[in-house]
Structure 1
Amino acid sequence: MTRGRLQGKTAVVTGGGNGIGRACCQRFADEGARVVVADLLADNGAETVELVTKDSGEALFFELDAAEESANVALMASAIETFGSIDVVVTAAGISHADYRSGDRSGNEALVDRAIEAMADPPKAFLDLTLEAWQRVLDVNLTGTMLAVHAAAAHMVSAGNGGSIITVASVAAKNPDAGPLPYAVSKAGVWMFTKSAARMLGPAGIRVNALGPGFIQTNMTDVLTEIPGVREMFTTTLPLRRLGQPSEIADAALFLAGDESSYVTGQILHPDGGYFTG
Protein backbone atom coordinates (compact mmCIF):
# COMPACT_ATOMS: atom_id res chain seq x y z
CA MET A 1 0.00 0.00 0.00
CA THR A 2 1.42 3.38 -0.99
CA ARG A 3 1.93 5.75 1.93
CA GLY A 4 3.27 8.61 -0.14
CA ARG A 5 6.43 9.90 1.53
CA LEU A 6 8.21 9.71 -1.85
CA GLN A 7 5.15 10.37 -4.00
CA GLY A 8 6.07 11.88 -7.36
CA LYS A 9 9.80 11.30 -6.91
CA THR A 10 12.18 9.14 -8.93
CA ALA A 11 14.70 6.92 -7.17
CA VAL A 12 17.68 5.30 -8.89
CA VAL A 13 19.09 2.27 -7.07
CA THR A 14 22.30 0.59 -8.17
CA GLY A 15 22.61 -3.02 -7.09
CA GLY A 16 18.82 -3.13 -7.11
CA GLY A 17 18.65 -6.77 -8.19
CA ASN A 18 18.94 -8.29 -4.73
CA GLY A 19 19.60 -7.76 -1.05
CA ILE A 20 19.66 -4.24 0.30
CA GLY A 21 19.22 -2.69 -3.15
CA ARG A 22 16.10 -4.71 -3.88
CA ALA A 23 14.65 -3.92 -0.46
CA CYS A 24 15.20 -0.20 -1.11
CA CYS A 25 13.44 -0.45 -4.47
CA GLN A 26 10.42 -2.10 -2.89
CA ARG A 27 10.30 0.25 0.09
CA PHE A 28 10.62 3.37 -2.02
CA ALA A 29 7.95 2.16 -4.46
CA ASP A 30 5.68 1.45 -1.51
CA GLU A 31 6.05 5.13 -0.63
CA GLY A 32 5.08 6.26 -4.13
CA ALA A 33 8.46 6.60 -5.84
CA ARG A 34 9.12 5.65 -9.43
CA VAL A 35 12.10 3.30 -9.28
CA VAL A 36 14.99 2.67 -11.66
CA VAL A 37 16.48 -0.73 -10.84
CA ALA A 38 20.11 -0.87 -11.97
CA ASP A 39 22.05 -4.12 -11.76
CA LEU A 40 24.67 -6.14 -13.61
CA LEU A 41 22.47 -9.24 -13.44
CA ALA A 42 19.50 -8.80 -15.76
CA ASP A 43 17.46 -11.69 -14.34
CA ASN A 44 17.78 -10.36 -10.81
CA GLY A 45 16.89 -6.86 -11.91
CA ALA A 46 13.84 -8.11 -13.79
CA GLU A 47 12.68 -9.93 -10.65
CA THR A 48 12.87 -6.70 -8.67
CA VAL A 49 10.90 -4.84 -11.32
CA GLU A 50 8.25 -7.58 -11.20
CA LEU A 51 8.03 -7.34 -7.41
CA VAL A 52 7.52 -3.58 -7.65
CA THR A 53 5.04 -3.56 -10.50
CA LYS A 54 2.87 -6.36 -9.12
CA ASP A 55 2.07 -4.00 -6.26
CA SER A 56 1.13 -1.27 -8.77
CA GLY A 57 4.47 0.50 -8.56
CA GLU A 58 6.39 1.97 -11.49
CA ALA A 59 9.81 0.53 -12.25
CA LEU A 60 12.40 0.40 -15.01
CA PHE A 61 15.37 -1.97 -15.28
CA PHE A 62 18.77 -0.80 -16.51
CA GLU A 63 21.69 -3.21 -16.94
CA LEU A 64 24.66 -1.60 -15.22
CA ASP A 65 28.32 -2.35 -14.71
CA ALA A 66 28.86 -0.05 -11.74
CA ALA A 67 32.55 0.42 -12.55
CA GLU A 68 31.91 1.80 -16.06
CA GLU A 69 31.61 5.59 -16.37
CA SER A 70 29.61 5.54 -19.61
CA ALA A 71 27.14 3.05 -18.12
CA ASN A 72 26.45 5.31 -15.14
CA VAL A 73 25.96 8.33 -17.39
CA ALA A 74 23.56 6.32 -19.56
CA LEU A 75 21.71 5.08 -16.46
CA MET A 76 20.92 8.58 -15.25
CA ALA A 77 19.99 9.72 -18.76
CA SER A 78 17.56 6.80 -18.99
CA ALA A 79 15.98 7.77 -15.67
CA ILE A 80 15.46 11.33 -16.89
CA GLU A 81 14.11 10.21 -20.25
CA THR A 82 11.64 7.77 -18.70
CA PHE A 83 10.51 9.51 -15.52
CA GLY A 84 11.60 13.13 -15.97
CA SER A 85 13.68 13.59 -12.82
CA ILE A 86 16.21 12.09 -10.43
CA ASP A 87 15.34 12.85 -6.83
CA VAL A 88 16.89 10.01 -4.84
CA VAL A 89 19.91 7.81 -5.52
CA VAL A 90 21.08 4.74 -3.59
CA THR A 91 24.45 3.23 -4.48
CA ALA A 92 23.96 -0.33 -3.25
CA ALA A 93 26.07 -2.08 -5.90
CA GLY A 94 29.04 -3.73 -4.24
CA ILE A 95 31.18 -6.84 -3.87
CA SER A 96 32.97 -8.37 -0.89
CA HIS A 97 35.76 -9.99 -2.92
CA ALA A 98 37.03 -9.60 -6.48
CA ASP A 99 35.52 -12.98 -7.40
CA TYR A 100 32.18 -12.46 -5.65
CA ARG A 101 29.11 -13.11 -7.77
CA SER A 102 25.65 -12.65 -6.32
CA GLY A 103 23.76 -15.94 -6.33
CA ASP A 104 26.79 -18.04 -7.38
CA ARG A 105 26.63 -20.42 -4.45
CA SER A 106 29.50 -22.75 -5.38
CA GLY A 107 31.80 -19.85 -6.23
CA ASN A 108 30.93 -18.01 -3.04
CA GLU A 109 31.51 -21.16 -0.97
CA ALA A 110 35.08 -21.12 -2.29
CA LEU A 111 35.40 -17.50 -1.15
CA VAL A 112 34.25 -18.50 2.32
CA ASP A 113 36.90 -21.22 2.45
CA ARG A 114 39.52 -18.61 1.59
CA ALA A 115 38.15 -16.25 4.22
CA ILE A 116 38.47 -18.94 6.88
CA GLU A 117 42.04 -19.61 5.77
CA ALA A 118 42.74 -15.87 5.99
CA MET A 119 41.51 -15.73 9.59
CA ALA A 120 43.80 -18.64 10.43
CA ASP A 121 46.89 -17.03 8.83
CA PRO A 122 46.49 -13.24 8.37
CA PRO A 123 50.08 -12.55 7.23
CA LYS A 124 49.73 -15.10 4.42
CA ALA A 125 46.38 -13.62 3.39
CA PHE A 126 47.96 -10.17 3.22
CA LEU A 127 50.86 -11.38 1.09
CA ASP A 128 48.53 -13.36 -1.19
CA LEU A 129 46.56 -10.21 -2.06
CA THR A 130 47.03 -9.30 -5.72
CA LEU A 131 46.81 -5.89 -7.32
CA GLU A 132 44.09 -7.22 -9.63
CA ALA A 133 41.93 -8.36 -6.71
CA TRP A 134 42.51 -5.11 -4.84
CA GLN A 135 41.64 -2.99 -7.86
CA ARG A 136 38.47 -4.88 -8.76
CA VAL A 137 36.91 -4.33 -5.33
CA LEU A 138 37.83 -0.64 -5.30
CA ASP A 139 36.58 -0.22 -8.88
CA VAL A 140 33.11 -1.53 -8.01
CA ASN A 141 32.66 -0.30 -4.45
CA LEU A 142 34.45 3.05 -4.40
CA THR A 143 34.84 4.20 -7.99
CA GLY A 144 31.39 2.81 -8.81
CA THR A 145 29.92 4.94 -6.04
CA MET A 146 31.69 8.05 -7.29
CA LEU A 147 30.58 7.45 -10.88
CA ALA A 148 26.92 7.01 -9.95
CA VAL A 149 26.87 10.03 -7.65
CA HIS A 150 28.72 12.20 -10.18
CA ALA A 151 26.35 11.26 -13.01
CA ALA A 152 23.26 11.81 -10.87
CA ALA A 153 24.49 15.08 -9.40
CA ALA A 154 24.94 16.55 -12.87
CA HIS A 155 21.18 16.23 -13.44
CA MET A 156 20.25 17.29 -9.92
CA VAL A 157 22.33 20.47 -10.07
CA SER A 158 20.95 21.31 -13.51
CA ALA A 159 17.35 20.79 -12.39
CA GLY A 160 17.84 22.98 -9.31
CA ASN A 161 15.50 20.96 -7.11
CA GLY A 162 18.04 19.43 -4.77
CA GLY A 163 17.91 15.74 -3.96
CA SER A 164 19.03 12.99 -1.63
CA ILE A 165 21.98 10.70 -2.38
CA ILE A 166 22.52 7.67 -0.17
CA THR A 167 25.74 5.71 -0.44
CA VAL A 168 26.15 2.26 1.07
CA ALA A 169 29.23 1.88 3.22
CA SER A 170 29.52 -0.69 6.02
CA VAL A 171 30.61 -1.12 9.61
CA ALA A 172 33.84 -2.15 7.87
CA ALA A 173 34.34 1.54 7.04
CA LYS A 174 35.33 2.03 10.68
CA ASN A 175 36.41 -1.45 11.78
CA PRO A 176 38.78 -3.45 9.54
CA ASP A 177 37.86 -6.71 11.29
CA ALA A 178 34.41 -6.47 9.69
CA GLY A 179 35.57 -7.32 6.17
CA PRO A 180 38.47 -8.37 3.92
CA LEU A 181 41.19 -5.75 3.39
CA PRO A 182 40.13 -4.35 -0.03
CA TYR A 183 36.48 -4.33 1.07
CA ALA A 184 37.21 -2.45 4.29
CA VAL A 185 39.37 0.10 2.46
CA SER A 186 36.72 0.60 -0.22
CA LYS A 187 34.00 1.20 2.35
CA ALA A 188 36.17 3.61 4.33
CA GLY A 189 36.66 5.43 1.05
CA VAL A 190 32.90 5.52 0.45
CA TRP A 191 32.45 7.10 3.88
CA MET A 192 35.03 9.84 3.25
CA PHE A 193 33.67 10.38 -0.27
CA THR A 194 30.21 10.84 1.22
CA LYS A 195 31.36 13.54 3.62
CA SER A 196 33.30 15.37 0.92
CA ALA A 197 30.44 15.17 -1.58
CA ALA A 198 28.03 16.47 1.07
CA ARG A 199 30.17 19.58 1.53
CA MET A 200 30.51 20.16 -2.20
CA LEU A 201 26.89 19.49 -3.20
CA GLY A 202 25.17 21.03 -0.18
CA PRO A 203 24.99 24.53 -1.70
CA ALA A 204 22.91 23.01 -4.51
CA GLY A 205 20.45 21.58 -2.00
CA ILE A 206 21.69 18.04 -2.50
CA ARG A 207 22.07 15.99 0.65
CA VAL A 208 24.59 13.13 0.67
CA ASN A 209 24.56 10.55 3.46
CA ALA A 210 25.80 7.01 3.96
CA LEU A 211 24.39 3.83 5.38
CA GLY A 212 26.82 1.67 7.34
CA PRO A 213 25.02 -1.66 7.76
CA GLY A 214 26.25 -4.34 10.10
CA PHE A 215 25.82 -8.05 9.44
CA ILE A 216 22.76 -8.33 7.19
CA GLN A 217 21.14 -11.51 5.86
CA THR A 218 21.82 -11.18 2.11
CA ASN A 219 23.29 -13.23 -0.72
CA MET A 220 26.67 -11.86 0.34
CA THR A 221 26.39 -13.38 3.83
CA ASP A 222 24.16 -16.43 3.27
CA VAL A 223 26.92 -18.95 2.63
CA LEU A 224 29.10 -17.61 5.42
CA THR A 225 26.38 -17.71 8.08
CA GLU A 226 25.42 -21.30 7.23
CA ILE A 227 28.79 -22.55 8.48
CA PRO A 228 28.33 -24.11 11.94
CA GLY A 229 29.18 -21.60 14.62
CA VAL A 230 29.68 -18.61 12.34
CA ARG A 231 26.20 -17.11 12.76
CA GLU A 232 26.59 -17.41 16.52
CA MET A 233 30.04 -15.81 16.32
CA PHE A 234 28.47 -12.76 14.68
CA THR A 235 25.26 -12.50 16.68
CA THR A 236 26.52 -13.16 20.21
CA THR A 237 28.64 -10.00 20.06
CA LEU A 238 25.62 -7.85 19.16
CA PRO A 239 23.25 -6.40 21.77
CA LEU A 240 20.27 -7.37 19.58
CA ARG A 241 21.64 -10.94 19.15
CA ARG A 242 20.58 -11.37 15.52
CA LEU A 243 21.47 -10.54 11.94
CA GLY A 244 19.70 -7.62 10.31
CA GLN A 245 17.28 -7.92 7.41
CA PRO A 246 17.49 -5.99 4.11
CA SER A 247 14.08 -4.45 4.85
CA GLU A 248 15.51 -2.84 7.99
CA ILE A 249 18.26 -1.19 5.97
CA ALA A 250 15.65 -0.02 3.46
CA ASP A 251 13.73 1.63 6.30
CA ALA A 252 16.87 3.55 7.24
CA ALA A 253 17.37 4.51 3.59
CA LEU A 254 13.79 5.77 3.46
CA PHE A 255 14.50 8.13 6.35
CA LEU A 256 17.51 9.55 4.50
CA ALA A 257 15.56 9.77 1.24
CA GLY A 258 12.57 11.62 2.65
CA ASP A 259 11.78 15.02 4.10
CA GLU A 260 12.18 13.75 7.67
CA SER A 261 15.95 14.05 7.17
CA SER A 262 15.87 17.42 5.39
CA TYR A 263 18.57 18.87 7.69
CA VAL A 264 20.78 15.78 7.65
CA THR A 265 23.80 15.60 5.35
CA GLY A 266 27.34 14.24 5.52
CA GLN A 267 26.36 11.58 8.06
CA ILE A 268 26.74 7.81 8.27
CA LEU A 269 23.80 5.95 9.80
CA HIS A 270 24.63 2.54 11.25
CA PRO A 271 21.74 0.04 11.30
CA ASP A 272 24.02 -2.54 12.90
CA GLY A 273 22.26 -4.17 15.83
CA GLY A 274 24.50 -2.29 18.24
CA TYR A 275 27.81 -3.34 16.68
CA PHE A 276 29.54 -0.13 17.75
CA THR A 277 28.31 -0.08 21.35
CA GLY A 278 31.35 -1.95 22.63
Structure 2
Amino acid sequence: MGLGQGDGLLAGKVAVVTGGANGIGRACCERFAEEGADVVVADILDERGIDTIAAVEKKGRRAAYVHADASSPTDNETVMQHAVDLFGGIDVLVTAAGIATADYRGDRPEASARRAARHAREQPDAMRRFSDLRLSDWQKVLDVNLTGTMLSVQAAARAMLDLGRRGSIITIASIAAKHPAAGAPAYSVSKAGVWMLTKYAARVLGPAGIRVNAIGPGFIETNMGEMIRGLPDLEERLLADVPLGRMGTAREVADAALFLAGQQSSYFTGEMLHPDGGFYTD
Protein backbone atom coordinates (compact mmCIF):
# COMPACT_ATOMS: atom_id res chain seq x y z
CA MET A 1 0.00 0.00 0.00
CA GLY A 2 1.40 3.44 -0.92
CA LEU A 3 1.75 6.36 1.42
CA GLY A 4 -0.89 9.07 1.34
CA GLN A 5 -0.04 12.65 0.51
CA GLY A 6 -0.14 13.56 4.19
CA ASP A 7 2.19 10.80 5.38
CA GLY A 8 5.86 11.23 6.13
CA LEU A 9 8.32 14.06 6.59
CA LEU A 10 8.70 14.47 2.82
CA ALA A 11 5.11 13.77 1.79
CA GLY A 12 4.36 15.19 -1.66
CA LYS A 13 8.02 16.10 -2.30
CA VAL A 14 10.16 15.16 -5.28
CA ALA A 15 13.79 14.21 -4.68
CA VAL A 16 16.59 13.80 -7.21
CA VAL A 17 19.57 11.72 -6.13
CA THR A 18 22.69 11.54 -8.30
CA GLY A 19 24.74 8.44 -7.64
CA GLY A 20 21.54 6.84 -6.38
CA ALA A 21 22.32 3.32 -7.59
CA ASN A 22 24.26 2.25 -4.50
CA GLY A 23 25.88 3.31 -1.26
CA ILE A 24 24.86 6.59 0.32
CA GLY A 25 22.82 7.58 -2.74
CA ARG A 26 20.67 4.47 -2.64
CA ALA A 27 20.21 4.77 1.12
CA CYS A 28 18.93 8.34 0.60
CA CYS A 29 16.49 7.16 -2.09
CA GLU A 30 15.04 4.51 0.20
CA ARG A 31 14.95 6.75 3.27
CA PHE A 32 13.23 9.57 1.40
CA ALA A 33 10.68 7.14 -0.03
CA GLU A 34 9.90 5.91 3.48
CA GLU A 35 9.02 9.51 4.33
CA GLY A 36 6.72 10.05 1.35
CA ALA A 37 8.96 11.40 -1.45
CA ASP A 38 8.91 10.40 -5.10
CA VAL A 39 12.44 9.85 -6.36
CA VAL A 40 14.45 10.30 -9.54
CA VAL A 41 17.63 8.21 -9.50
CA ALA A 42 20.55 9.29 -11.68
CA ASP A 43 23.59 7.06 -12.20
CA ILE A 44 25.71 5.23 -14.77
CA LEU A 45 25.14 1.84 -13.13
CA ASP A 46 21.95 0.87 -14.90
CA GLU A 47 21.25 -2.49 -13.29
CA ARG A 48 21.80 -1.18 -9.79
CA GLY A 49 19.78 1.91 -10.62
CA ILE A 50 16.83 -0.23 -11.64
CA ASP A 51 17.20 -2.15 -8.37
CA THR A 52 16.95 1.14 -6.50
CA ILE A 53 13.80 2.04 -8.40
CA ALA A 54 12.25 -1.28 -7.38
CA ALA A 55 13.18 -0.64 -3.74
CA VAL A 56 11.56 2.81 -3.82
CA GLU A 57 8.41 1.52 -5.48
CA LYS A 58 8.20 -1.28 -2.91
CA LYS A 59 7.86 1.45 -0.31
CA GLY A 60 4.84 2.81 -2.15
CA ARG A 61 6.39 5.79 -3.94
CA ARG A 62 6.86 6.67 -7.58
CA ALA A 63 10.36 6.43 -9.00
CA ALA A 64 12.27 6.90 -12.24
CA TYR A 65 15.80 6.09 -13.36
CA VAL A 66 17.92 8.24 -15.69
CA HIS A 67 21.29 7.07 -17.01
CA ALA A 68 23.52 10.07 -16.38
CA ASP A 69 27.22 10.88 -16.24
CA ALA A 70 27.71 13.28 -13.33
CA SER A 71 30.38 15.21 -15.25
CA SER A 72 28.11 15.89 -18.25
CA PRO A 73 26.21 19.23 -18.38
CA THR A 74 23.69 17.75 -20.80
CA ASP A 75 23.05 14.69 -18.64
CA ASN A 76 22.47 16.83 -15.56
CA GLU A 77 19.97 18.98 -17.44
CA THR A 78 18.22 15.85 -18.66
CA VAL A 79 17.91 14.47 -15.13
CA MET A 80 16.33 17.64 -13.74
CA GLN A 81 14.02 18.07 -16.71
CA HIS A 82 12.91 14.47 -16.29
CA ALA A 83 11.94 15.22 -12.70
CA VAL A 84 9.99 18.29 -13.77
CA ASP A 85 8.24 16.54 -16.66
CA LEU A 86 7.38 13.37 -14.76
CA PHE A 87 6.72 14.59 -11.22
CA GLY A 88 6.15 18.33 -11.62
CA GLY A 89 9.29 19.79 -10.08
CA ILE A 90 12.21 19.30 -7.72
CA ASP A 91 12.13 19.86 -3.97
CA VAL A 92 15.30 18.04 -2.89
CA LEU A 93 18.60 17.30 -4.58
CA VAL A 94 21.29 15.00 -3.14
CA THR A 95 24.60 14.94 -5.03
CA ALA A 96 25.88 11.50 -4.03
CA ALA A 97 27.69 10.73 -7.30
CA GLY A 98 31.39 10.41 -6.60
CA ILE A 99 34.54 8.33 -7.04
CA ALA A 100 37.46 7.69 -4.72
CA THR A 101 40.08 7.30 -7.46
CA ALA A 102 40.16 7.65 -11.23
CA ASP A 103 39.70 3.89 -11.75
CA TYR A 104 37.08 3.38 -9.03
CA ARG A 105 33.99 1.44 -10.10
CA GLY A 106 30.95 1.42 -7.85
CA ASP A 107 29.74 -1.87 -9.32
CA ARG A 108 33.13 -3.54 -8.77
CA PRO A 109 34.19 -2.54 -5.25
CA GLU A 110 36.29 -5.63 -4.66
CA ALA A 111 38.34 -5.00 -7.81
CA SER A 112 38.78 -1.34 -6.83
CA ALA A 113 39.96 -2.41 -3.36
CA ARG A 114 42.45 -4.85 -4.85
CA ARG A 115 43.86 -2.16 -7.13
CA ALA A 116 44.23 0.23 -4.19
CA ALA A 117 46.00 -2.43 -2.14
CA ARG A 118 48.32 -3.30 -5.03
CA HIS A 119 49.13 0.37 -5.63
CA ALA A 120 49.95 0.87 -1.95
CA ARG A 121 52.26 -2.16 -1.97
CA GLU A 122 54.00 -1.05 -5.15
CA GLN A 123 54.48 2.51 -3.94
CA PRO A 124 54.39 2.68 -0.11
CA ASP A 125 56.00 6.13 -0.04
CA ALA A 126 53.22 8.73 0.30
CA MET A 127 55.53 11.48 -0.94
CA ARG A 128 56.18 9.59 -4.16
CA ARG A 129 52.50 8.72 -4.61
CA PHE A 130 51.74 12.43 -4.46
CA SER A 131 54.60 13.67 -6.60
CA ASP A 132 53.96 10.99 -9.25
CA LEU A 133 50.18 11.45 -9.37
CA ARG A 134 49.14 11.60 -13.03
CA LEU A 135 47.27 14.67 -14.20
CA SER A 136 44.65 12.51 -15.91
CA ASP A 137 43.90 10.69 -12.64
CA TRP A 138 43.66 13.99 -10.75
CA GLN A 139 41.37 15.50 -13.39
CA LYS A 140 39.01 12.52 -13.52
CA VAL A 141 38.29 12.68 -9.78
CA LEU A 142 37.71 16.43 -9.88
CA ASP A 143 35.52 16.12 -12.97
CA VAL A 144 33.14 13.73 -11.22
CA ASN A 145 33.28 14.87 -7.61
CA LEU A 146 33.56 18.65 -7.92
CA THR A 147 32.49 19.64 -11.42
CA GLY A 148 29.76 17.01 -11.32
CA THR A 149 28.42 18.46 -8.08
CA MET A 150 28.54 21.97 -9.52
CA LEU A 151 26.60 20.90 -12.62
CA SER A 152 23.94 19.10 -10.57
CA VAL A 153 23.50 22.04 -8.20
CA GLN A 154 23.26 24.48 -11.12
CA ALA A 155 20.71 22.40 -13.00
CA ALA A 156 18.54 21.79 -9.94
CA ALA A 157 18.73 25.46 -8.93
CA ARG A 158 17.62 26.55 -12.41
CA ALA A 159 14.62 24.23 -12.23
CA MET A 160 13.67 25.49 -8.75
CA LEU A 161 14.06 29.13 -9.77
CA ASP A 162 12.10 28.67 -13.00
CA LEU A 163 9.20 27.14 -11.07
CA GLY A 164 9.46 29.58 -8.16
CA ARG A 165 9.96 26.57 -5.93
CA ARG A 166 11.77 26.62 -2.61
CA GLY A 167 13.97 23.60 -2.05
CA SER A 168 16.82 21.87 -0.28
CA ILE A 169 20.09 20.98 -1.99
CA ILE A 170 22.34 18.55 -0.14
CA THR A 171 25.89 17.98 -1.35
CA ILE A 172 27.89 14.97 -0.24
CA ALA A 173 31.34 16.10 0.81
CA SER A 174 33.54 14.15 3.26
CA ILE A 175 35.63 14.51 6.38
CA ALA A 176 38.43 14.66 3.81
CA ALA A 177 37.14 18.12 2.87
CA LYS A 178 38.71 19.43 6.06
CA HIS A 179 41.37 16.85 6.95
CA PRO A 180 44.06 15.94 4.39
CA ALA A 181 44.87 12.62 6.07
CA ALA A 182 41.34 11.29 5.49
CA GLY A 183 41.64 10.76 1.74
CA ALA A 184 43.87 10.68 -1.33
CA PRO A 185 44.96 14.10 -2.70
CA ALA A 186 42.51 14.42 -5.61
CA TYR A 187 39.63 13.11 -3.50
CA SER A 188 40.39 15.43 -0.57
CA VAL A 189 40.75 18.49 -2.79
CA SER A 190 37.57 17.66 -4.72
CA LYS A 191 35.59 17.37 -1.48
CA ALA A 192 37.10 20.59 -0.11
CA GLY A 193 35.86 22.22 -3.29
CA VAL A 194 32.40 20.76 -2.75
CA TRP A 195 32.34 22.32 0.72
CA MET A 196 33.26 25.79 -0.59
CA LEU A 197 30.76 25.40 -3.44
CA THR A 198 28.09 24.56 -0.87
CA LYS A 199 28.75 27.71 1.12
CA TYR A 200 28.83 29.90 -1.98
CA ALA A 201 25.59 28.45 -3.36
CA ALA A 202 23.91 28.83 0.04
CA ARG A 203 24.64 32.56 0.05
CA VAL A 204 23.45 33.28 -3.46
CA LEU A 205 20.40 30.99 -3.51
CA GLY A 206 19.17 31.73 0.00
CA PRO A 207 17.07 34.76 -0.98
CA ALA A 208 15.02 32.46 -3.24
CA GLY A 209 14.31 30.11 -0.34
CA ILE A 210 16.71 27.46 -1.64
CA ARG A 211 18.80 26.01 1.16
CA VAL A 212 22.16 24.40 0.37
CA ASN A 213 23.93 22.24 2.95
CA ALA A 214 26.60 19.56 2.91
CA ILE A 215 27.13 16.25 4.62
CA GLY A 216 30.71 15.27 5.43
CA PRO A 217 30.57 11.54 6.16
CA GLY A 218 33.35 9.75 7.97
CA PHE A 219 34.38 6.19 7.15
CA ILE A 220 31.19 4.51 5.91
CA GLU A 221 30.40 0.90 5.07
CA THR A 222 29.65 1.33 1.36
CA ASN A 223 31.21 0.02 -1.83
CA MET A 224 33.69 2.87 -1.60
CA GLY A 225 34.40 1.85 1.98
CA GLU A 226 35.52 -1.54 0.64
CA MET A 227 38.71 0.19 -0.46
CA ILE A 228 39.51 0.81 3.21
CA ARG A 229 38.59 -2.78 4.09
CA GLY A 230 41.06 -3.91 1.43
CA LEU A 231 43.90 -2.25 3.34
CA PRO A 232 43.72 -3.72 6.89
CA ASP A 233 46.57 -1.58 8.22
CA LEU A 234 44.87 1.55 6.90
CA GLU A 235 41.51 0.54 8.36
CA GLU A 236 43.02 0.01 11.78
CA ARG A 237 44.84 3.34 11.66
CA LEU A 238 41.82 5.29 10.47
CA LEU A 239 39.40 3.78 13.00
CA ALA A 240 41.87 4.60 15.77
CA ASP A 241 40.82 8.23 15.19
CA VAL A 242 37.09 7.42 15.51
CA PRO A 243 35.87 7.56 19.13
CA LEU A 244 32.91 5.28 18.39
CA GLY A 245 35.38 2.71 17.07
CA ARG A 246 33.48 1.60 13.98
CA MET A 247 32.59 2.55 10.45
CA GLY A 248 29.22 4.18 9.91
CA THR A 249 26.39 2.95 7.73
CA ALA A 250 24.84 4.46 4.63
CA ARG A 251 21.52 4.57 6.50
CA GLU A 252 23.05 6.81 9.16
CA VAL A 253 24.19 9.25 6.47
CA ALA A 254 20.74 9.08 4.84
CA ASP A 255 19.17 10.03 8.18
CA ALA A 256 21.32 13.19 8.18
CA ALA A 257 20.20 13.89 4.61
CA LEU A 258 16.56 13.45 5.65
CA PHE A 259 17.02 16.07 8.36
CA LEU A 260 18.51 18.54 5.87
CA ALA A 261 15.81 17.77 3.30
CA GLY A 262 12.85 18.50 5.57
CA GLN A 263 11.39 21.35 7.55
CA GLN A 264 13.21 20.30 10.72
CA SER A 265 16.27 22.05 9.27
CA SER A 266 14.41 25.06 7.88
CA TYR A 267 16.93 27.54 9.35
CA PHE A 268 20.00 25.61 8.20
CA THR A 269 21.92 26.71 5.12
CA GLY A 270 25.62 26.79 4.29
CA GLU A 271 26.35 24.16 6.96
CA MET A 272 28.06 20.77 6.93
CA LEU A 273 26.90 17.91 9.15
CA HIS A 274 29.41 15.22 10.04
CA PRO A 275 28.12 11.69 10.63
CA ASP A 276 31.65 10.56 11.45
CA GLY A 277 31.62 8.70 14.76
CA GLY A 278 33.38 11.57 16.50
CA PHE A 279 36.29 11.99 14.07
CA TYR A 280 36.07 15.75 14.53
CA THR A 281 36.41 16.08 18.28
CA ASP A 282 39.62 18.12 18.49
Fold shared, TM-score > 0.5 on shorter chain: yes
Query: Which of 218, 239, 259 matches 1:214?
Result: 218
Counterpart-to-counterpart distance in 2, 1:149 and 1:48: 22
Report whether the alignment pairs 1:73 with 2:77. yes
Identity %: 56
Q: What is the alpha-carbon root mean square deviation over aligned residues?
A: 1.4
Report whether the alignment pairs 1:52 with 2:50. no
- Whether the aligned pair in 1 keeps the contact of 2:21 and 2:48 (CA below 8 Å) is yes
Report whether the alignment pairs 1:249 with 2:253. yes
Report whether the alignment pairs 1:172 with 2:176. yes
Counterparts of residues 1-278 of structure 1 (less than 5 Å): 3-104=7-108, 105-115=110-120, 120-278=124-282
Q: Structure 1 counterpart of 2:45, which letter?
A: L
What SS class does the counterpart of residue 224 from structure 2 fall into?
A: helix
| Aligned positions, number | 277
Q: Structure 1 pair 116/217, CA: closer, same or farther in 2 (3 Å)?
A: farther
Q: Structure 2 counterpart of 1:190, which letter?
A: V
Q: Structure 1 counterpart of 2:220, which letter?
A: I
Counterpart-to-counterpart distance in 1, 2:61 and 2:211: 25
Task: Give structure 1 stretches of 5+ with no counterpart.
Answer: none
Q: Structure 1 pair 226/259, CA: closer, same or farther in 2 (3 Å)?
A: same
Superposition deviation, residue 116 in structure 1: 5.3
TM value normalised by structure 1: 0.96
Task: Give structure 2 stretches of 5+ with no counterpart.
Answer: none
Superposition deviation, residue 155 in structure 1: 0.9
- Whether the aligned pair in 1 keeps the contact of 2:117 and 2:230 (CA below 8 Å) is no
- Whether the aligned pair in 1 keeps the contact of 2:43 and 2:49 (CA below 8 Å) is yes
Q: Structure 1 pair 211/115, CA: closer, same or farther in 2 (3 Å)?
A: farther
Counterpart-to-counterpart distance in 2, 1:107 and 1:232: 19
- Whether the aligned pair in 2 keeps the contact of 1:24 and 1:253 (CA below 8 Å) is yes
- Whether the aligned pair in 2 keeps the contact of 1:100 and 1:111 (CA below 8 Å) is no
- Cα offsets for 1:99-118 (capped at 9, x unmatched): 10113222431123224555
Counterpart-to-counterpart distance in 2, 1:106 and 1:96: 13
TM value normalised by structure 2: 0.95
- Cα offsets for 1:45-77 (capped at 9, x unmatched): 011111111222211101010000000001100
